[in-house]
Amino acid sequence: MDISGKKFLLVGGAGLIGSHTADLLIKQNVKEIVIYDNFARGNVENLKDALKDPRVKVFDVGGDILQTDILEKAVSQCDGVFHFAALWLLHCHDYPRSAFETNVTGTFNLLDICAKNKVERIVFSSSASVYGDAIEQPMREDHPFNNKTFYGATKIAGEAMIRAFYYRYGLDYVGLRYMNVYGPRQDYKGAYIAVIMRMLDAIESEDGPTIYGDGKEEFDFVNVLDCARANICAMKADASNTFLNIGSGKGTKLEELAKMLLKLTNSSKLIQYKLIENSTLVRNRVGCVKKAKKEIGFVSKISLHDGLMELINWRLKHRASYDFL
């Protein structure tokens, strides 16, 4: 899709990945960027830089994807849509009905409205949560859905619906299955996102970082700036009707992560280990990223070392604007 001179809607655009995508979009020759967010998780502070550009507008502050009349107006005359809005993993665990309404019904609402308004393309934020624990690694896109969480279930439903809309109404899409996203503007509301922030909290307090497990749990940590770039790549690419892993393709054990954070913060504290209490949390998940490179030209660029250093510096600088400690 040629994005030059086009209008884009970012649903959930004030969140972690959405706001960084907005920052990258303003560097493109686009006509207009509309942010649609109920600010339940997103933060106006995340849009501080993007809103300096006159092409960026927030549509009806407080807009929700369950409010179809408002959503219809937001989608109208948009050429492309980025769908980031969703309740996070632990919220879905505690409130499964709300998870269904927002992540499944809300996604249906958006797809239905996009199809009626002849939106040229939608980029859908899915998740590696659809896979659950790894049966084999690295996990390719044809890895079985081994999910055990309500959050993962809603993402599977979203993927199934967007594929159905493609075949029934010709709604063009690319779905992105993010691995473990981290970086500036992240919060404490994602199970795997939060592990980095809570380790940093513990390093600053009297306790050392705590690992729930034996530390051998392995994950694919991908920087949010890479994820934002993947979204732009997905909107521009010729690829269609496809789901792609977005990650670094490299596994990092939690013990390695803790040691890296201790080194980057010049801390001598000791790592503590506790038993895993939540049986639904996965222990291993590293993605194969070959298909994303082939179909949309995406390859992650930011190393975990550099990304964590950037996060640490951002966190120290933005204490007044975000809820830390």
What lies within 8 Å, CB to CB, of 70 at 6+ separation is 60, 63, 64
Integer Cα distance of 41 and 90 in angstroms: 13
Residue 243 in contact with residue 175, Cβ under 8 Å?
Answer: yes
The owner of tokens 């000791």 is 270
The owner of tokens 């219809």 is 72
**E strands in 197-286:** 210-212, 218-219, 221-223, 242-246, 252-253, 272-274, 284-285
Integer Cα distance of 181 and 192 in angstroms: 8
Examine residue 144 and say whether the peptide bond preceding it is cis (omega within 30 degrees of 0).
no
Integer Cα distance of 269 and 216 in angstroms: 19
Q: Which helix (H) or strand (E) holds 114?
A: helix 106-116
Q: Which of 273, 304, 301, 274 is nearest to 289 (CA)?
A: 301
Query: 3-state DSSP helix/strand/coil percent for the chain, to nearest 5?
Result: 40, 20, 40
The owner of tokens 């199809």 is 115
Residues facing residue 11 across a β-bridge: 36, 83
**151 a catalytic residue:** yes
How does DSSP classify residue 130?
G
Integer Cα distance of 243 and 230 in angstroms: 12
* Helix 194-204 with 304-317: angle, nearest 10 deg: 60
Q: Find the catalytic residue in 36, 95, 131, 151.
A: 151
Q: What does 31-66 look like in DSSP terms, one character per residue? A: SEEEEE---SS--GGGGTTGGGSTTEEE-STT--TT
Active site residues: 151
